[in-house]
Structure 1
Amino acid sequence: MTKKNQMNIESFIEHEKIKGELYNLCKLNRLPTGILLLGPEGCGNFKLGIKFIKKLLKIDNLAHPDIHFLFPLPNPSSKLTDYFYNKWHKFLVNQPYGSFLDWKQKIHSENKDCKISLEQVEDALKMINLKSYELSYKVVIFWMLEHLNINAGNKLLNVLDSPPNRVLFLFIGENEKFILPTLKSRLHIIKFKLISNKIIEKYLIRKFNLSKKQAQYIVSISDGNLNTVFKILKNETKNETNPLNINFIFWMRMLFNLKNKIDSLLIWCSQINDWNRDKKKSFLLFSLEIFRIAHRYKYDKNYINPFFNYKNFNWKQFCRYINTKKVSLINHLISDVIKGIDRYYFFLFHFLDLSFNLNKILFNKSNY
C-alpha cells in the first residue's frame, strides 16, 4: 500500500469534500458569520470543525482567549465553571466523536436537563466585544446547537443580524428538527452524512491492522457511527459487558418465558423507568437495530452480527422468530415509544405495553 493510498483512506474519514468547501470559503474571503455543521452522531462534523478552526487561525491549541466554547450544562450550573471547563477540554481531546449522552455522563448529569444557557451566550458576547488578543478572528463554537435555550437563541439572533467584524460563529448540531428555524435561516449550513461501512472497514484494516473479520464485526455494530467505532477500539464497548446488550438479552429471555417471568419483568421495567430520557432512547434505538440485524441475518447467513461471540445467547435460534412482517410491526411499536419519551408521559405503562406486544408478536403462535 502506498503512502498516497493511506492518505486517501484517511481523507474519506475526514469528509475531504466538505473540508475543501470550508477552506475555499476562507481562500475566497467569503467566510460567513455563522456556519452550521449538521450531521448525525459519529459523522465527524465536530472533529472536522475543530480542524477547520485550527487551520483558519493557524494555531495548534484551542485553549485561547480569542476562542470561546459553549456546550450544554445542567440548568442549576448555567455558568461555565472551572470544573466544567476542565471536563470539556478533556472531552474535546479524548472523545472528538463523543455524543450528547457521553458528555452528560462525563459531567455526571445523566438525569439532568442540560442546555446552552442565556448566561453562557451573554458571556460569549462580552468576549467578542473585547479587542482581539492576537488572532485574526474571534471564534465562538456552539456544540449541540439543538440544546440551545430559547432565550439564548433569541439573544443570538440579534447578534447574527448585526454581526461584529472578524467574528465567526461555528455551530455543531445533530438534529435539525430541534434547531430554531429563525436561527437556521441566518446560517450557512453544511450537511454531513455517516461514513459508508465499506470505507470504515478499509480504514480499520489499514489504520489499525485489523483482520477483515474484525473490521466487519466493528462495522456491523457501529453502522457508520465513528463514536461507536472508536469506543470499540478503546475497549469501552465490549460485548460481554455492554449494558445495552445485557439488557436486551435479559428482556428477550423474559419475554420468551413470560408466563413465569411476569414479576421479573415488572421489576426490570421499573428499573428501566428510572433511566434518563437519553438512556431510554439509546436502549430502544439499539433494540431496533438488533431486530434489523436479525432480519438481515435470517436471509443472509454470511452477514456479521453483534452476538456471534455470546456463549449464552443462541443468535440463530432467536433469528428464527424474525420475519419481515414482525420487524415492520416491531419498528412501528418501538418508534412510537421513542417519540413519546419527549412528551413526558407515563413511560413505565407504555414500556410494559410494548413488552407484552413484543411477546405476542415474537413468541406466541399467531398469524405473524
Structure 2
Amino acid sequence: MQFRDIIGQHDIKRQLIQTVQENRISHARLFLGPEGAGCLPLALAYAQYISCENRTATDSCGECASCRKYSRLIHPDLHFSYPFFARHKDDTALSFIEEWRDAFLSNPYLGLDEWRNQLDAENKQANINIAECHQIIKKLSLKPFESEYKVLIMWLPEYLDKAGNTLLKIIEEPPQKTLFLLVAQSQDQILNTILSRTQLIKVPRLKDQDVKEFLINKFHIQDEQAARITYLSEGNVQTAINLSKEESNNNFGLFTDWLRMCFTNRGIQVIEFAETASRMGRENQKNFLRYGTKLLREVMMLLSGAEDLVHLPQNEKAFAENFKRSADLAKTEALVSELEKAHYHIERNANPKILFLDVSLQFIKILKFNTLPRGTQYIYT
C-alpha cells in the first residue's frame, strides 16, 4: 500500500512522511477516525514507507523487495492483529490470516461487518482475546528478520477489553525498533491505559469530492449517480462501495414516489410498495431508509433557514424545495423519526413487509391527516 493509492487525506500523508524524514518515528501511534476514512490503509502505507529500501520524498518506491512483500501482506516483519470470532479459546489472529489478507487486499477500507462476512461468525462476538495478546508479545520479542523495524498494525483495539492490559508493558517499553500502529474508530471505547501510551493522529472523514472522484474512477459510474452515492455515504468509502454495487440505485425515485402515495393516501399503491420494498434485501432496505433520513434532514435545514448548509444534487434539491411548501418542521421531524425506527428494526430482522406497511400508515397519518406522534420536538404555532 503506497500513499498514492489512498483516497484524499493529503495533510495526514504529508505529516506522516515528514516524521520519517525528520527521524521522529514514534514507537506507538493511534490512527483515530470514522469507518471508511482510510485509517487502516494510512497505517499500512506508513509502515511500508518506513521499511522501503528506496523511498522517495513523497512515497515508498513500490518496487523494492520490502515493498513487494508489503503489497501482498507477507513481509516477515509486518504483523497484524484484529478482532475475530474465535472457535476455540486458543485461536489467535494468525488462525484467520489468509481470510484477513483476502479481505484487506480486496478492500483496504473494509468495516467490521464486511470482515464478519468473510468469516463463519455465526452469533459469536468479535474480540481480541488473551491468547492473541500473548501471541503479540511472543512474536514482537523476536529480532527483525529483514527490515530495520518490526511493525504491528492492530485494527480496532476497542475490542481488546481487559485483555489489553497484558500489552501495556510492551507498548510502553517495546523491544528496540518495534512499532505499534493502532487503528481505531471510537476513542471512548479504548482502554485509557493504552491511550496514554500512544501518539494520537486524528483522521477526518473524507471530503465528498474525494469520494466522488474515487467512485467515478473506480466504478466508471455517471457523475449524477456518484454524487448521490457520495451524499449518502457521508465520507465512508465502504458505504460508498456497497451502494455502488447495487443492481439499481434509484433510491430518490422510489422514496419520493412513496411520500407522494402516502400524502395522497393511495391505499392499493401503498400495499404494493410494501411488497416491493420487502423484496429489496436487508442491506438495500437499510440503505434506502438511510437515504430517506438524510434527504428529509436536508429538508429540515431548509425549513430552518439554513439554505447555505444544504448540498444536494439538482433533482434532490428541487424535491426538497417543493416538499418544504407542504410540510413543516414538526411533520418532517416525525417522518425522520419513523425512518430511524424502521432502520433499527430492519437491522434486527423485523418482517420487512409488515414494517414498511406500518411505516406507510404512519406517514399517511402525518402527511394526510396532520396527526403527529407523541414526543415530536417541534409543535405548531
Question: TM-score, normalising length from structure 2?
Answer: 0.68
Q: Which position in structure 2 is the counterpart of 1:221?
A: 232
* Alpha-carbon distance in structure 2 between the residues aligned to 1:52 and 1:282: 33
Alignment partner, residue 157 of structure 1: 168
Residues 297 and 85 (structure 1), Cα distance of their counterparts in 2 relative to 1, 3 Å cut: farther
Q: Say yes or no: does 1:116 pair with 2:128.
A: yes
> Which runs of structure 2 are paired with 1:14-33 in the superposition (5 Å)?
14-33=8-27
Q: Could you tell me how far apart the structure 2 residues matched to 1:306 and 1:155 are? A: 55
Amino acid of the structure 2 residue aligned with 1:31: I
Which residue, 271, 281, 293 being the options, matches 1:288? 293
Mapping of 1:1-368 within 5 angstroms?
A: 13-58=7-52, 59-60=66-67, 61=70, 62-77=73-88, 79-80=91-92, 84-109=96-121, 111-146=123-158, 148-202=159-213, 204=215, 211-232=222-243, 235-239=244-248, 288-292=293-297, 303-304=312-313, 323-329=328-334, 361=366, 364-366=369-371
Give the unaligned 5+ runs of structure 1.
1-7, 265-274, 309-313
Amino acid at match of 1:57: S
What is the Cα deviation at residue 14 of structure 1? 3.4
Letter in 2 for 1:124: I
Deviation at 1:213, TM superposition (A): 2.3
In 2, the alpha carbon distance for the partners of 1:114 and 1:77 equals 13
Asked if 2 retains the 8 angstrom alpha-carbon contact of 1:296 and 1:303, the reply is: no
Could you say what secondary structure the match of 2:99 adopts? helix
- Separation (CA, whole Å) in 2 of partners of 1:80 and 1:251: 48
Bigger drift between 248-257 and 194-203 goes to 248-257
Question: 1:333–1:218: structure 2 CA closer, same or farther, 3 Å change rule?
Answer: closer
Pick closer, same or farther for the CA change 1:240–1:214 going to 2, 3 Å: closer
- CA-atom RMSD, angstroms? 5.0
- Alignment partners' CA distance in 2, 1:131 and 1:169: 15
Distance 1:254 1:154 in 2: 57
Higher Cα Rg, which structure: 2
**Which structure 2 segments of 5+ residues have no match?**
53-65, 273-281, 372-378
Alpha-carbon separation, structure 2, partners of 1:279 and 1:150: 33
Q: 1:44–1:81: structure 2 CA closer, same or farther, 3 Å change rule? A: closer
SS in 1 for 2:20: helix
State the Cα distance separating 1:187 from its structure 2 match.
1.0
Q: Aligned residue pairs: how many? A: 341
2:110–2:238 Cα contact (<8 Å) kept: yes
Letter in 1 for 2:198: L
1:230 alignment partner AA = I
> Could you tell me how far 1:332 is from its partner in structure 2?
6.5
Q: Deviations over 1:305-353 (max 9, x none)?
A: 8999xxxxx9999888754334445656777999999xx9xx99xx99x
1:150 to 1:287, Cα distance in 2 relative to 1, 3 A: farther
Q: Identity of paired residues, percent?
A: 27
Structure 1 residue 142 displacement after superposition: 0.8
Does the Cα contact within 8 Å between 1:14 and 1:48 map onto a contact in 2?
no
Q: Deviations over 1:25-81 (max 9, x none)?
A: 222222122111111111111112111111111122221232221111114446137
Q: Give 1:303's aligned amino acid.
A: L
Larger CA deviation: 357-366 vs 23-32: 357-366
Moved more, 121-130 or 66-75: 66-75
Change (3 A) 1:207 1:96: closer
TM-score normalised by structure 1 residue count: 0.70
